[in-house]
Amino acid sequence: MTNAWQVAAVVGWSAAGAAAVALVALRRRWAAELERFRAVSERDALCGVYNKGALVSLVSDLFGRRGTRLRGTLLLVDIDRFKDVNDEFGHAEGDEILRAVGEALSRGFRAGDIVGRFGGDEFMVFAEGLVDPATIGEKVAALREATREAGLAHVGRPVTCSVGALVIDGRAATYDAALRQADAALYEAKRSGRDRHVTVAYEEPICPAAGERRTGAREASFDV
């Protein structure tokens, strides 16, 4: 009787141990699937960079955490006359150019930089620690060249982009104010003839506008 009880106990412990191991493995697989789903849900399906929701969340959270110690550059990139490309050559070719710009941004910036698609033909980058104007110029020049080459490859003519770059060097910056100032720099690049970049330094607002946060697409297109 004792031997039978001991055998049953050993069998029970073995089964319990196997079940525990299986449960741990199941939890690990579930955690891996959740992480994979989270990563996929944060990415723009076409361009492979962060989608707008993840992009805005990551950049605004970074601004909130760093406070007065923030150093880096916020860039807004807009493809020039992109509507004309879609109208003349079709959305499939336009998508290829968007994909190429996303790839160029991913290559041109570090893995830890935040790169995302902010609107239809607009991208945003926040490169923490990047404050040297010459380095910013080099990165933007490489992006502009990649955009031209994408146009030649897919529609047979160069496609250009304009960039507004806002440098924040240890200032008390807010996401809202930084976005407005980067947007103004991008507008100046567009107004000055497109196919160029404008770099400006962050200025602390004298009287920040309450509740002014741009989370949607620009109301008026640059190409109008």
Mean pLDDT of 20-48: 65
Mean pLDDT of 192-208: 89
Determine the length of the chain: 224
pLDDT at 41: 81
Give SS3 for 148. Answer: helix
Q: Which helix (H) or strand (E) holds 13?
A: helix 2-41
Asked if 122 contacts 77 with a C-beta cutoff of 8 angstroms, the reply is yes
pLDDT of residue 39 exceeding 80, the answer is no
**Yes or no: domain 52-201 corresponds to CATH 3.30.565.10:** no
pLDDT at 66: 81
Extended strands (E) in the chain: 70-79, 114-117, 122-128, 161-171, 197-201
Better pLDDT: 209 or 99? 99
pLDDT at 222: 54
pLDDT at 172: 86
**Burial category of 178 from C-beta neighbours within 10 Å (exposed 0-12, middle 13-18, buried 19 and up):** buried
- pLDDT classification of 217: cutoffs 50, 70, 90: very low
| pLDDT tens per residue, range 135-151 | 999 999 999 999 999 99
| pLDDT tens per residue, range 71-99 | 999 999 999 999 999 999 999 999 999 99
